[in-house]
Structures are given as C-alpha cells and as structure tokens.
Structure 1
Amino acid sequence: MRPITNSFFMKRISLLVLATMFAVPASFAGGLLTNTNQSVHFLRNPARNASMEIDAAYTNPAGLTFLSDGFHFSLTNQSAFQTRTINSTFTGFAFAEGNNGSAAKQFKGEASVPIIPSFQLAYKRDKVVFSTSFGITGGGGKAIFNEGLASFESSISMLPIMLSQKGIETSAYSVDSYMEGRQYIFGWQLNGSYQLSEHFSVGVGLRLNVVNNKYVGHLRNISINPTHPALNPTGSMMKATDFFNGAYTAATSTANTMAGIESQGYGAATLGQLVNAGMMTQAQVDQLAQGLGVTSATAGAMDVSSVKQGYVTVAATNKAYEESVGDKNLDCTQTGWGVTPILSLNYHTGGLNLAARYEFVTSLNVQNKTKVDDTGLYTDGVNTPHDIPALLSLGAEYAITKHWKIAAGYHHYFDSDAEMANDKQQYIDGGINEFLFGTEYQLTEQLLLSFGGQITRSGVTDDYQTDMSFSLNSYSLGFGGAYNISPALRLNLAYFFTDYDDWTKTSTNYNGTGLPGTDVFARTNKVFGIGIDYKF
C-alpha cells in the first residue's frame, strides 16, 4: 500500500489533558486558583472586604474586633452550576461522523456542585479575637466533557486529510472521547486579631491549603473509512488500528519477500534488471513503487536491498500509526499542600470602616498518584508546580443612615508571580483585577435586604487560553437577604450569577496540526446559597 509518512502523525495521538493543569470550571468567584465566595454573605453582597460581621473570619480578620463579646458562628451551603463551552472551527472537524460536513463543532463541559459547605467561627473577649474558617478556597468541583475536547480531537481529525493526501480516499472519522476533571483546594484558616486603639485593629493568620485533583479520561474506538483495494475495498467505517495493522502486515510481508530475493544473491540487482531477467513483472514493480510512494521509473532503478529497507521503514511507520490511534486511558489523582500567611488591617471611625488584607504567595506542588496513564503526561510520583498567587484585598463600608450601608472593594491577584506547570504564568500580564460594590438596607427589625456586584478583568494573554484552561472577563451580580429568626439566630439566602465575555482565539497552527483554526471560549455560572449566623 502507499506509505503514510506525514510527520505530524509520527507523534502519538494522546489525551492532551493538562500539560499544565486541567482547569475545572470554577464554581466560585475569584482568581485563577482562589475562591473568594466563602459565605452566603458574599453571594448577596460581594463587597465584603471591610466586613465587621462573622464572615470577616475570611474576608477581614482584623474587623472581627468589633463583634460583641462571646462566640459567633456562621454555616453556609452553596449550590453551584456552571457550563464551559468551546465552539471550535477547524477543517478536520468537517470529517467527523455525524457533523454533517461542518467545520464547526461544539465541546461542552458541565459542572454541578449541589453541596459546597463552609463555616466561620470566632471568639471575642475584650480586645482579642480568635477565629477560624473552612471552605473550598480554590478549584470548583467536577466538570465532565462527554465528547472530550478539541485539543485532542483535532489530531484525530487529521487522519482523513493525511490519508487522502496519500491517495487513500478517506472522508470520515469517529471517536469515543471523554474527559472528567475534579479540582479542589480545601482551606482551613486560623486567625488572631487585636484592637490596638479605638479605631485601629490588626489581624494575622495562616491558612492550610490541601489540594485534591482527579482526572479521568479516554480516547477509544478511533474509526475511519479509507477506501483501499486490499484492506477496505468498500470504504466502510473500520477501526483505525485494524487498518494500520493491515498496512503494517502487508509491508512486513513485502519486506520479507525482498529479503528472500536478497538472500539468493540479488541484493545489488535493480528491479529493472529483475524484470529483464524474467524474475519479476513490470506490474509487480509498479505495485512496489506505489507502496514506496515513488514512480515506477524510480523503483526500477532501485536495488533489491534498498527496496527491502524501504518496506521495513513503511512497516515501522504503520506500526507507529497503529499504536498512535489505539485506545488511551487516564486515571490520575494529584495531592499536595501549602500554607498561606495572612495580614489584616482595619480602621473604623463613625460610620466608616476601611480594611486591607494581604495573602502571601503559597508555594506548593502536587504529586501524581497514577493508576493508568497511556498519555505519558502523568508519570506516577512526579511533582507539578501549583502555587496559589498572592492576593491584595482592599475594602470600605459606609453607613449612610442607621438602616442603609454601602460598600466597595478591590482585589488584585499576583498571578504572574505564582509558579505554574510549564511556566504558564509567563502568559499572564500582571494578574486578575476585581472591582466590587454592594449595598444593604435594614427594611425592618427582622429583615435585611442586600445587593451587589463584581467586575473581573482577566490579566491573561491569548497564549494562555486553551480549551483546558481559560480565563474570561466577566461581571457578577448577587442579591438576597437575612432574616432574624431570634436575637441570636439569623437566616441568610442569596442568588449569585456571572456573565462572561466570550474570548475568540485564532491560530495558524491549530493544536500543532499545521492548519488554521479558531476557538471561541464561553462560560455560564449560577450559585444559590443558604446559611445561618448564630451568636452565643
């Protein structure tokens, strides 16, 4: 058969999941690896940076000094639902079975996390407060891509193009592709706060971050429909492994035949000479030429040893293709931990409260615990950088009246200074910036209503964006209320949603295929929250 020597397919077709980190669609607000919505208070009013309530155990530890003496406790559950959609346009996708000849194909991942618990606990006595909080401070649950991702299907879609270029008419491919990613960073924080004066308080804290990621995926049953007189004369769909195995077997048989002729002392004889001697027909030379991808005249001038070696190479090439299109499976868990130092300052006078918090960069690695890895990307025991970037948080609250309060805040994530796998931080221009605003109104003695929003401006560049990890500009809105069931017990309810800007990325070398292609990245996010505050 004609040789298949396209250099692109000399590389293994593998699950390209997570050469960096497969970023599960975050079900939270915040930076690339930081979740800031650690309580239902945030969902109904995101501008909590200068909070002086119990949720300040996370947002503003220094502000806890303005609580009443005693214990204060808050428990929240959030239910988050998110989609991540990549609309891809690539020539190869026109050959996807069932895609009706369209070069456009959609890859969609869904994340549903009905239970996301968090809590804050504080004890205040005079000027001193000890507090703790727990939540999912990074990641965002589990995302499932039932049809895989464009980054590895695009490689498979090249099969019909490559085979057709070699004279083997091929017009379709199919693949069973699946990817599931789960990414959590559990954060346990301990703080100590002290009121230095009537107006000024400080807080220090440490957060233990425990990472637990899991990735499961497969590429199976890659099939194509090559029309070949010996291997697939009807041009029906067949497993790609069977096709390339047949090509390998045929080339090996031919190489053995030529080795037999060589062993009879004709290794230096050309095929043309063998035809003249009646040992071979011209039709056989033409067939050998076709298998080597050369003209009949060129083949006729080749000696037997060269023809044999040529078919040894063709056989090895097709064996490599067979292995490339074989089933690939992945099952890997990653774990690691790191500690974040935290400093907090608070200034309060009259109806005005100002706060600042700085979280230092958290250096950590995650280690692979691999059960199955046919990709070669997740060797068991290998460590990967997974730093959590430093965070600067600024906030202000102002009581306009006894019943009405407004708030504003700012976050900056120093993503460019956090080490990521494959040095991906070099594709971030400074880091993410967030601008927050909110308001609360005490409608009655029992009922508080609140509303707020967040504007996020991603600092990533075009080179950062892939279907496995992308960040989008967005705005979020949250609203809800709190109801005093008793003087000691309060119920909180909230709804929070995020609207993302699409990001279009066009490449002249789409996923390494050498052909142009375009991805349009999009997301949706909705979160419901319920919680209680209790003091005693």
Structure 2
Amino acid sequence: MRKLTLAAALLLCASAHAGGYLTNTNQSVAFLRNPARDAAIGIDGAYFNPAGIGFLSRGWHLSLNIESAYQTREITSSFGSVNNRSLFALGQGNPSDGVKTFKGKAQAPVFPTLDLAAVYNKWFFSAHFGITGGGGKCAYNNGLGSFESQVAMLPVIVNTASNAITGQNAAAGYSYNSYVRGRQYYIGGQLNAGYKINSKLNLSLGVRAVYATTNYYGYVRDMKVITTTGQAVDLPTLLTQFNMPTLAKGVSNLTGDRNLNCDQSGWGITPILGIDWKSGRWNLAAKWELKTRLRLKNKSGENTSGLEEFDDGKTIPADLPTILTGGIQYTALNDSSLRFNVGAHWFRDKAATQYKHRENKLGGDGFEFLGGVEWDVKKWATVSLGAQYTNYGLGKGDFLNNISFVTDSWSLGFGAKFQIRKNMAINVAYFKTFYLGFDKHMKDYNDLKANLGGQLSEKLTALGKAAAAGQIHLTPTEQTVMSKLPTALGTFNTAGTDHFDRTNDVFGVSLDINF
C-alpha cells in the first residue's frame, strides 16, 4: 500500500463536456443547440470553422457566451471475497452485499467563451477565447474502490496473522477516511487570419495559446482494523498487541496517513489551418489543429501520497492531441431558411504524450460523428436540434479504470436563436449527454494482489535480511507469521468488477452583436 491511489480520483476531475477525453469542443451556445458546427457559417466559426468567417457580412461581429455544466461520475464496484463474503462488505458502513457506489460531482457553473471577427473585402480576422480543456471542479467525498480495495485487505492480513498464532480471527472489518478534490482549467486564446481566394474558397491560418492551471487536493487517513470485539485499532498497534513489535514498526509506513496538495501549470501553442468552400446550396469546410506540446510544472505544498507524479518541481507531459475536423452544410430551401449539417472529428489521442505514456493503453484514437438541423421559423426566430456520437477508442477497456474514467456517449442538443434587434440576437440552449455504461471485470482487481503482494514481500524480505544480519530481533511469533503470510495472501480471491457511468447536463445563453 505504499502508493495509495489518490490519483484514481484526481485524474477523474477533468471536466470535459464534449469532444475528446483531453479537449472541450462545446465552445459556443450555438454548438449546444446544434453540435454539427464544422461547416456552419456563424460568428462561432472563430473556433469551429475559421475559414468560414470570410463568408459573414462585412464588418465586425461579436458573441458573448455563458454555459453552466453539471456532471456526476459513478463507479459501482465489487471486490474480492473471503469465506464467500465480499471484502467491501467488511467496510464500516458499507452495504452488506459488498457492492459499493463511489460518486463524484463535477460542476462548472460559469463556463465563458468569446468570439470576435472582422471581415473585409479579401481579408478577414477572428479571435476566440474559451476553456478548451478541463473546465471544472470535481470532488469524491469517499475515495474510490481502487484505494478501498487496499484498505479492505487489512482484515485479511490481520486474520492471516492471528490464525497462525491462535487459530482464530481477530479482525471483523475495517474503516478509513478519504477525500479528493480536483480542478482543471486549460484556457485557450486563439487568433486567426484568413484570405478569400475567390467567391467560393477561403483559407485561414491561426494559432491558439493554451495556459493550463490545475490543483489536486486529497487525503487518506485513519486506516483502522475493526476487531472482533468492536475496537478500531491501527495495524501497528494491533501487531504489537500480538507480540510482533518489530513487524509493527516495519509496516507502520504502509498504513500511515497520505496527503496531497499540488498545483500544476504550463502552456503550449496550437497551430491551426482551415479551409472553406461554398457553392450554391453547399458549404464544405475542414480544420486541422496540430498537436499542442504541453508540460506541467508541479508546485506541491505537500505530497506524502507516494505518487511521484505530483512531486514538487517535477515536469509532467500532458499533450493535447492533433484534431482533424470536417463538415458539410446543405441549404434546403430557396429562402435559405432550412439548413442541414453533418460533421466528423478525429482526435489523435494515441499520439498525445501523457505521463508514463498512458496514451499507449488506448485501443485507438477518438472520433465523433455529428448531425443537426436549423430552421428559421420566423425572421426573428430560429430553432435547431442536433446529435453527437463520441467514441474514445477504449478498445477492450485496458485504458478504462479508476484513473481514466471516460465512456462512449450519445449527446442531444436543442435550442433557439431570437433576433431581438436588427444587429442583435440571443441564443438559448440545452445539451444532454447519455453515456454508455461500461463493465470492467478483473481477475485481480486493479492488480491488487500483484502490487500489494510485491510490496509486502519486499518489506518482509528486508526484515528477514536485517534479522539474519543481527540488526533486528524477531520474536518466534513474528517468524511464524512472516513465513506464512505471503503464501496465505496468495490464496485469497481478489477478483472484482467496476461499472462506470456518468451524467452531463449543460445549459447556455449567449448574445450576438453585429456592428
């Protein structure tokens, strides 16, 4: 238990709402009511379709957007068994069947974006500001199964020792206290310049500067064994009571409190190329965002978590992927009042370097398909509806675990635009994501037996060598327990299952002004 998995919750705190697992594409309220914006002609093209800005009317265009996003993440876990009883059932306050749900809540009550454009005869320019990654806070009030499974082994360890001595169990359960909170904001400022090659073709070139700022705070404290007499005792104290003082001292750091408070920051540059071709009722557009090389510098006030990823002064790779998008818009009626949109996104996530090359566990790159329709029901009112399917390239689920919680999804958005003045409009929208649940079955829950067994074996081997060298003294009881503990632990069932699920609701309102 040297490396207690606080990170299991920390990396879940990224609050992306749409797009790849590293990126946010919900960059306008117009997107919320029709996510297929890749070939749409509008002021939010400053992000979605920079080359399409050239087909706006001459002059200046401005859009101010506010979104509010609310998410829940749930992992329903079951783990191990002893005497046909789930090990999670031994936890104080846990369900008797040992099936436990770990809940996290993430919210971004104010998620702002801004678009600005200036269109001239041949040249056009645009700017976009938004939170292009992360974008919220997330808290897990009771930790996660990947950590609790390690605490759940305390009764197993104690009973193995007590049975070797007295032939009876000494532990009836366990208790602990855990909390994790995370915040991630990847703030992007983008500038684009474009040129009208002719009346049908526009090209654009842009650059986005991304500044990342994060904070991770969490702790795991008060790990106790609940004895058969109802007492809550820490492991070293209990081992001492069993006349194993040397062993108690040797394993004291395995169950000590773990704390983390780490800030990270860094920045990167994203080059962006765009093209838009418009002819008659058709408009076709594409955008290519190159990979953003991002390195985050740690500033840790405290890190006793055992997780070197959060060591003070360390630099962590956190690239944002190359993104290729394309879309088609078709205007169905002569008065241009009905428009159909389709689009596709390709996220080269497997080529975006992460800490210890975590990206290699992905089954493939992420991709999305999008579609939508807009209808000007009146000169002053437009209604729209759209859908999006997102596939994260999870493959067989090797990437999907407590540390990386994303599942494929369907999203539905709808809303309206109201022209309140000749040069001023308001957008309102709602965007709902329906995640596809995922069950991950593991013969050894999060490699617990391998990791915990290895750590205990390492500790016991070191104690044995120290005793052989005369540096420490082992009591006969300690010698007996140390000889039986590794073998006995290897016989326990550590199979487990995690069921992953999420919810996501986003509301938005924006103001568009032409001047």
TM-score, structure 1 normalization? 0.82
Residue 236 (structure 1) aligned with residue 231 (structure 2): yes
**Shift in Å, 1:13:** 5.5
3-state SS, counterpart of residue 65 of structure 1: helix
**Residue 276 of structure 1 corresponds to which residue in structure 2?**
none
Distance across 2 between alignment mates of 1:211 and 1:245: 48
Kindly indicate whether the alpha-carbon contact (under 8 Å) linking 1:27 and 1:525 is maintained by their aligned counterparts in 2.
no
Residue 58 (structure 1) aligned with residue 47 (structure 2): yes
Which one of the candidate residues 93, 97, 112 is aligned to 2:92?
97
**Residue 78 of structure 1 corresponds to which residue in structure 2?**
67
RMSD of the TM alignment (CA)? Answer: 1.5
**Residue 155 of structure 2 corresponds to which residue in structure 1?**
160
Kindly indicate whether the alpha-carbon contact (under 8 Å) linking 1:241 and 1:323 is maintained by their aligned counterparts in 2.
no
Distance across 2 between alignment mates of 1:251 and 1:105: 34
**Shift in Å, 1:241:** 5.0
**Residue 444 of structure 1 corresponds to which residue in structure 2?**
378
Which one of the candidate residues 366, 386, 406 is aligned to 2:296?
366
3-state SS, counterpart of residue 463 of structure 1: coil
**Residue 30 of structure 1 corresponds to which residue in structure 2?**
19
Distance across 2 between alignment mates of 1:78 and 1:390: 25
**Shift in Å, 1:244:** 4.5
Q: Quick one: which amino acid aligns to residue 42 of structure 1?
A: F
**Residue 321 of structure 2 corresponds to which residue in structure 1?**
389
Q: Quick one: which amino acid aligns to residue 441 of structure 2?
A: T
Distance across 2 between alignment mates of 1:172 and 1:410: 51
3-state SS, counterpart of residue 112 of structure 1: strand
**Residue 468 of structure 1 corresponds to which residue in structure 2?**
403
Distance across 2 between alignment mates of 1:447 and 1:245: 76
Distance across 1 between alignment mates of 2:239 and 2:388: 54
**Shift in Å, 1:100:** 4.0
**Shift in Å, 1:327:** 1.4
What stretches of structure 1 of length at least 5 have no aligned partner? 1-10, 228-233, 253-314
Q: Quick one: which amino acid aligns to residue 492 of structure 1?
A: N
Alignment of 1:253-402 (within 5 A): 315=246, 317-377=247-307, 378-401=310-333, 402=335
Kindly indicate whether the alpha-carbon contact (under 8 Å) linking 1:13 and 1:325 is maintained by their aligned counterparts in 2.
no
**Residue 258 of structure 1 corresponds to which residue in structure 2?**
none
Distance across 2 between alignment mates of 1:173 and 1:13: 19
**Shift in Å, 1:162:** 1.5
**Shift in Å, 1:98:** 1.4
**Shift in Å, 1:26:** 2.5
Distance across 2 between alignment mates of 1:100 and 1:357: 51
Kindly indicate whether the alpha-carbon contact (under 8 Å) linking 2:259 and 2:304 is maintained by their aligned counterparts in 1.
yes
Kindly indicate whether the alpha-carbon contact (under 8 Å) linking 2:15 and 2:138 is maintained by their aligned counterparts in 1.
no
Kindly indicate whether the alpha-carbon contact (under 8 Å) linking 1:163 and 1:226 is maintained by their aligned counterparts in 2.
no
Residue 425 (structure 1) aligned with residue 349 (structure 2): no
3-state SS, counterpart of residue 171 of structure 1: strand
Larger radius of gyration: 1
Residue 531 (structure 1) aligned with residue 503 (structure 2): no
Distance across 1 between alignment mates of 2:344 and 2:269: 23
Distance across 2 between alignment mates of 1:100 and 1:63: 56
Residue deviations 1:136-182 (CA, integer Å, cap 9, x gap): 10113111100011111110010011211222421111111111111
**Shift in Å, 1:15:** 3.7
Residue deviations 1:380-413 (CA, integer Å, cap 9, x gap): 0111110001001000111101211110000010
**Shift in Å, 1:27:** 4.3
Distance across 1 between alignment mates of 2:171 and 2:125: 69
Q: Quick one: which amino acid aligns to residue 401 of structure 2?
A: T
Residue deviations 1:320-359 (CA, integer Å, cap 9, x gap): 3322212111100111111000000000011110000000
Kindly indicate whether the alpha-carbon contact (under 8 Å) linking 2:5 and 2:147 is maintained by their aligned counterparts in 1.
yes
Which one of the candidate residues 324, 338, 357 is aligned to 1:404?
338
Q: Quick one: which amino acid aligns to residue 98 of structure 2?
A: A
Q: 1:13 to 1:241 in 2, by over 3 A?
A: farther
3-state SS, counterpart of residue 172 of structure 1: strand
3-state SS, counterpart of residue 23 of structure 1: helix
**Residue 136 of structure 2 corresponds to which residue in structure 1?**
141
**Shift in Å, 1:239:** 3.6
Q: Quick one: which amino acid aligns to residue 311 of structure 2?
A: T
Distance across 2 between alignment mates of 1:100 and 1:482: 49
Distance across 2 between alignment mates of 1:319 and 1:119: 58
Distance across 2 between alignment mates of 1:391 and 1:365: 19
**Shift in Å, 1:376:** 2.6
Distance across 1 between alignment mates of 2:130 and 2:508: 14
**Shift in Å, 1:112:** 1.6
Q: 1:208 to 1:474 in 2, by over 3 A?
A: same
Distance across 1 between alignment mates of 2:248 and 2:234: 14
**Residue 290 of structure 1 corresponds to which residue in structure 2?**
none
**Shift in Å, 1:465:** 0.8
3-state SS, counterpart of residue 142 of structure 2: coil
**Residue 39 of structure 1 corresponds to which residue in structure 2?**
28
Residue deviations 1:422-453 (CA, integer Å, cap 9, x gap): 21111123311100000000011111000001
Distance across 2 between alignment mates of 1:485 and 1:502: 42
3-state SS, counterpart of residue 7 of structure 2: coil
Distance across 2 between alignment mates of 1:99 and 1:429: 34
Kindly indicate whether the alpha-carbon contact (under 8 Å) linking 1:23 and 1:183 is maintained by their aligned counterparts in 2.
no
Q: Quick one: which amino acid aligns to residue 119 of structure 2?
A: K
Kindly indicate whether the alpha-carbon contact (under 8 Å) linking 2:111 and 2:135 is maintained by their aligned counterparts in 1.
no
**Residue 203 of structure 1 corresponds to which residue in structure 2?**
204
Q: 1:484 to 1:95 in 2, by over 3 A?
A: same
Distance across 1 between alignment mates of 2:32 and 2:70: 14
Q: Quick one: which amino acid aligns to residue 452 of structure 1?
A: G
Q: Quick one: which amino acid aligns to residue 201 of structure 2?
A: F
When the two structures are aligned, how many residues end up with a matched partner? Answer: 454
Distance across 1 between alignment mates of 2:410 and 2:430: 14
**Residue 494 of structure 1 corresponds to which residue in structure 2?**
429
Structure having the higher strand fraction is 2
